Amino acid sequence: MFSRKGIGGAAPDVPGFSAHKGPRHVAVIMDGNGRWAKARGRPRLFGHHAGAKRVREIVNACPDLGVKYLTIFAFSTENWKRTQTEVAGLMSLFRRYITKEARALRDEGVRVRFIGDRMRLDAKLVALMDDLECFTEGNDRVHLTVALNYGSRDEVSRAIKHLAEDVASGNLDPADVNEETLTRYLDTKVLPDPDLVIRTSGEARISNFLLWQSAYAEYEFVDTLWPDFTEHIFARIVSCYGARDRRFGGAKP
Ligand code: IPE
Ligand code: IPE
Ligand code: MG
């Protein structure tokens, strides 16, 4: 039987079930910062700064929309392929953003978590991430998860490595390996699966984001570039979600 683990209270029997019609967990691929900057004749980092400013507005819109979990894709395991200038600028932006926003996030009842591989990130950034997680751990109004150096294939590989170590050390019986067991080794183990995945900027691809977790998510691809993505656009997408017919492989009677 399916059950949601960790946070979230009562566990319904149906995957993706929500007491209200809206999505409980929304995941966003925040894309289009570079094109937004280019259209203005500015460097890509200008677009990343404009994009970062959008995050607070979307997080703050969540409680009224019934969105309890918001997961945002900030930097992928593939984004290291970008120029050194862009990567260094993004890492510096993440450090500054955490430092600047920590108090507001805590005061607004946001619990922040990070998913992704921290090993390749610099120690100072990782320390800020750890601190922000601790600083906000008492909050429950909105659960914001930031995917930073995150890639689904990397996450699943790390999970399987860890699982194999547990089998080798005798802590896990291979006979007990199933979907639920593997889920417990993922970075997202305390989160419910996303109900809705939004990608901005007109690209209709997933780019290695939450592949396992979004197996039954609804998808919405919008042309708006991330720095132009407002709470009104977000609210419209979230409210349209209620009209969708999620079947999870079942059939209507
Ligand atoms: C998304 O915007 C932000 C990150 C991937 C870090 P992009 O930087 O991918 O912007 P485009 O897609 O080039 O316009
Ligand atoms: C996905 O966007 C990653 C983030 C939004 C952080 P990309 O711009 O990196 O994806 P591709 O390269 O267009 O697939
Ligand atoms: Mg992009």
Q: Give tens-digit pLDDT for 23-69.
A: 999 999 999 999 999 999 999 999 999 999 999 999 999 999 999 99
Handedness of CA 229, 235, 240, 246 (dihedral sign): positive
C-beta separation of 74 from 144 below 8 A: no
C-beta separation of 32 from 200 below 8 A: yes
pLDDT at residue 217 is higher than 80: yes
Exactly one of 13, 33, 60, 79 is catalytic; which is it? 79
pTM of the model: 0.92
Gap between the Cα atoms of 134 and 16, Å rounded: 28
Locus of tokens 């997961």: 71
pLDDT at residue 2 is higher than 90: no
Q: Is 79 a catalytic residue?
A: yes
- Determine the pLDDT at residue 130: 98
As a whole number, mean pLDDT of residues 166-180 equals: 98
- Determine the pLDDT at residue 252: 77
- Determine the pLDDT at residue 20: 61
Give 157 Cα–ligand 2 centroid separation in angstroms.
20
Strand partners, 139: none
Per-residue pLDDT band at 177 (split at 50, 70, 90) = very high
Give 45 Cα–ligand 1 centroid separation in angstroms.
10
As a whole number, mean pLDDT of residues 126-150 equals: 98
Q: Mean pLDDT, the chain, as a whole number?
A: 92
How do beta strands 25-29 and 142-150 pair? Answer: unpaired
